[in-house]
A and B are shown apart, each in its own frame.
Chain A
Amino acid sequence: MNVLNEDRKQETAARHICYHCGEECREEIIIADGHEFCCNGCFNVYDILKESDLCGYYAVEGATGISPDKAYFNGKYDYLELPEVSGKIIEFTDHQLSRVNWHIPGMHCSSCIWLLEQLYKFNPAVRSSVVNFPEKKVRITFETEKIRLSELAALISRIGYEPYISLNDLGDRQIKKWNRTRLYKIGIAGFCFGNIMMLSFPEYFHLGNTGSDQNLRVTFGFLNLALSIPVLLYCAGDFFKSAWSALKGKYLNIDAPIVLALLSIFGLSLYQILSGTGPGYFDSLTGAVFFMLTGRFFQDKTYDGISFDRDYKSYFPVGVSVLKDGTEARTPITGLAPGDIVLVRNAELIPADAVLLSPEAWIDYSFVSGEAEPVSRKKGDTVYAGGKQTGTAIQLEVLRKVSQSYLTQLWNNDAFSREKEDQNKTLSARINRYFSVIVLIIATVTFLIWYFVKKDPETAFRAFTTCLLVACPCGLLFSSTFTNGNILSLFGINRCYPKNADAVECLSHIDTVVFDKTGTITRSEEADVQFVGKELSEDELVIIRTVAAQSSHPLSRMIVGNLGHIQLSKRSLGNYAEVSGAGIEVLWGKQEIRLGSAAWVGAPSENSNDLSFSRVYVSMDQVVLGYFAIRVQYRDNLPEAISALQKCGFKTFLLSGDKPADQPFLSGVFGNEAMLHFNRKPDEKLEFIKTLQNRENRNVLMIGDGLNDAGALRQSNVGMAVSDDTGNFSPSCDMIMEGRQLSRLPAFIRLARSGQKIIKASFAVSVIYNILGLFFAIGGKLSPVLAAILMPVSLITIVAFTTAASNLAASRIFRD
């Protein structure tokens, strides 16, 4: 028996924290200047900082660096030199100085601001760099002659801040412009509102009724009219546009009653001024616009703050490697033409429909179809845009040009999750569709009664407009959006990442929890691994670790983690293939290496009774060297978490593809053996979930690692993937949770449930508000300005209520 894990154990006894990124050092530890680093990348960043005399970075409070992108390669940013790309990215240039405004998703703390604003220390050609933290952007001015765009991108990548460059950066500039326009509109509306109020003072206090003041009165009236025109035409423009576009689509949206109210106030006031019968209601008109604009501004700010920014576009390789005469060049995705030969590396996306030129490829279409199993394609087959290559690099000949928008659409479509999200969206849509119609009917009936029955035209107009203004569906529409949005970010803080708000809502209805075993309730990084077989040489260990590192299977990761003291080889591997449930195979030079089950490597399968560990066999050129005996370790607090779930009335099941190992321990945890299901193949797992849902009418939460249970994750009401490194994204799941947080699962479900209660409460508040508001409006007891103030106030109340209530619930739940 060959014992490899002695020194590994000693290493983990004392925790090593990387000086740069603050993460625990898992693999090789680099020691320099008395500091420890988890990887070469972090050490390099430290080295660069030290060279430029910027070690003050580590003194800034809360500073934790970012480990630089491992996928960086020389020439990654070469495509930025292409004129058509740089033209889109450079914001301004006078051929001496240029300016770019890059999105840096990795920016996360005040020391990031500090470091990014010191860029000129790294390279004097950078004139200035200014960070906009809320937008996660840095605006860099640099000397065009001295530093190239690609060098600049490489420089900030090297210190750990990889810029996210998308050709849609242009769209971003429009957002900023729109943001400013919104401020102009609020400013102008406020200006006009204030001045009209001042000019209306005589009216408010019934002054100026004597004959000598008549001229002043007329002047004031016309001044008010003049001041209200820009408000109606410019500031309120967005309401008109939105109402009109909804009307063209043959339905009434929230803005329709508002527009009608504004027009009727303006018309009435215009009539009064021109006929000299009254002062008009210009103060109400401009006040309504001002308060509504402010309310929307606040609403959008809050929404931006809590929105879960998963930009599907970030999965795109914006630059594509094109082979021309045997040399590789980077081209933007929009510059691809039919007949081009592109190179797609491991885990890169296929940018266009193309014909495969390499002998074989394994394409993962999970983004398109939700099917996580990679499919094999042979030379000459057509592959479609959106697939992801797994394995070694492949060459493709482009068939059809594919627009970026098509690819984006593909992701957003999410055909595989649509049915789960339906119910909620229709509720909002229904409120949106009928609310305006109902309000219009109420307002019209009120108007008719006041006008014809009570013969009071003035009150009729006032009641009509206040009805339209005071009724605010925002509370009804947004109470779930804001609550779920806030809960989403609370989940994120606690390291569980739901795909969207609907996933949180589904989580609150869960009554059954099904666990996968390997990689889910077991720890993937730490396991008792022993090699049984012939003595392995250093070279063989390097080969085994390098091959195992290609796979994301939990057992492979355990082997990689266990062989931590062995260096990874940088050589490229040929014919990489991974067969789910069997193993991996690869060519190491001319040697054929296989890791996997006994049948996969051709070892005689021992029918031993010792089921307490899993075996991974190793063979080189069909010679079986032995196997790794892997004794998995369960996550901390697992029994407590599961018994807490059972106490709350959840049914818990274990669904494993493995042999029935550790049965006594697990049946203790899960209650009895009937809850344990072993030896289930992926499709049987799916069937099991289906049976639970259909026969017993249960809402199932499936927790798996997203690798061999993708089908079950998709079938379940909520599929949660547990991952020890959150980069492992499986599109068929609704949530990704960090492995260590599994013990807090009951807390997460409780938070989701309190979220539902909060939504119901705020819904009730908003219904009561609308009924009260309409009641006073119908009675003609509400002035238009007050109605216009009440509308944003109700929205702010709802937002404040949902945010405060969900934060309070979270702090109560997560306190322990």
Chain B
Amino acid sequence: MSAFYVMIITSLFIAVAFLSAFIWSVRKGHYDDDYTPSIRILLDEPVSEKSTRKDK
């Protein structure tokens, strides 16, 4: 049964890793806005006629 102790510690570590990933993403602001990114991806970059991508 001693294997249990190792497994419990491992499982707790994995869970803590996920928890810290969640906290990190909240801290980085991933959950501040759950609407705009879904719109932004559908909007095209304006295609300029005057300056045809010479700056790239």
Inter-chain CA distance A179–B51, complex, in Å, is 43
CB proximity to A under 8 Å, residues B2-55:
4-5, 8, 11-12, 15-16, 18-19, 22-23, 26-27, 31-36, 39-40, 42-44, 46-51
Interface check A457, CB cutoff 8 A: no
When distances are taken between beta carbons in the complex, the residues of chain B under 8 Å from A118 are 46
Please name 18 pairs of A and B residues whose Cβ atoms are closer than 8 Å in the assembled complex, sorted by A.
A53-B50, A56-B44, A56-B46, A56-B47, A113-B36, A113-B39, A118-B46, A121-B46, A131-B36, A132-B32, A133-B35, A134-B34, A176-B32, A180-B31, A183-B26, A195-B11, A216-B4, A223-B8
Inter-chain CA distance A173–B46, complex, in Å, is 33
Inter-chain CA distance A121–B49, complex, in Å, is 14
When distances are taken between beta carbons in the complex, the residues of chain B under 8 Å from A117 are 40, 43
A298–chain B nearest beta-carbon distance, Å: 13
Contact B46 A179 (CB under 8 A): no
Which B residue's beta carbon lies closest to that of A180? B26
Taking chain A's interface residues, is the majority helix, strand, or loop, or is none over half, making it mixed? helix
Inter-chain CA distance A194–B12, complex, in Å, is 11
Contact A187 B50 (CB under 8 A): no
Instruction: Report the interface size class on chain A.
Output: 20 to 34
Of A54, A176, A191, A198, most buried by chain B (CB within 10 Å of CB) is: A191
Using A198-B11, A213-B1, A223-B8 as known contacts, list a sample of 12 further A-B pairs with CB atoms less than 8 Å apart, ordered by residue number in A. A53-B46, A53-B51, A56-B44, A56-B46, A56-B47, A117-B43, A131-B40, A132-B32, A133-B36, A134-B33, A135-B32, A219-B8
When distances are taken between beta carbons in the complex, the residues of chain A under 8 Å from B18 are 191
Given contacts A53-B49, A183-B26, A184-B26, contact A110 B43 (CB under 8 A): yes
What count of chain B residues pass the 8 Å CB interface test? 31
Inter-chain CA distance A807–B32, complex, in Å, is 28
Interface check A729, CB cutoff 8 A: no
When distances are taken between beta carbons in the complex, the residues of chain A under 8 Å from B47 are 56
Inter-chain CA distance A198–B12, complex, in Å, is 10
When distances are taken between beta carbons in the complex, the residues of chain A under 8 Å from B39 are 110, 113, 133
When distances are taken between beta carbons in the complex, the residues of chain A under 8 Å from B34 are 134
B7–chain A nearest beta-carbon distance, Å: 11
Contact B43 A132 (CB under 8 A): no
Given contacts A56-B47, A180-B27, contact A188 B36 (CB under 8 A): no
Encode contact with B along A177-200: 1 for CB under 8 Å, 0 otherwise.
Answer: 001100110011001001100110
B1–chain A nearest beta-carbon distance, Å: 6
Given contacts A113-B43, A223-B8, contact A184 B23 (CB under 8 A): yes
Sorted nearest first, the 9 A-B pairs with minimum C-beta distance are A133-B36, A132-B33, A191-B19, A56-B46, A114-B43, A183-B26, A187-B22, A110-B39, A134-B35
Inter-chain CA distance A199–B8, complex, in Å, is 9
Given contacts A113-B39, A117-B40, contact A216 B1 (CB under 8 A): yes
Which B residue's beta carbon lies closest to that of A223? B8
Contact B15 A195 (CB under 8 A): yes
Given contacts A113-B36, A134-B36, A184-B23, contact A60 B43 (CB under 8 A): yes
When distances are taken between beta carbons in the complex, the residues of chain B under 8 Å from A133 are 33, 35-36, 39
Interface check A609, CB cutoff 8 A: no
When distances are taken between beta carbons in the complex, the residues of chain B under 8 Å from A132 are 32-33, 36
B50–chain A nearest beta-carbon distance, Å: 6
When distances are taken between beta carbons in the complex, the residues of chain A under 8 Å from B26 are 180, 183-184, 187
Inter-chain CA distance A113–B41, complex, in Å, is 11
Interface check A537, CB cutoff 8 A: no
B10–chain A nearest beta-carbon distance, Å: 12
Interface check A212, CB cutoff 8 A: yes
Encode contact with B along A90-115: 1 for CB under 8 Å, 0 otherwise.
Answer: 00000000000000000000100110
Contact B40 A191 (CB under 8 A): no
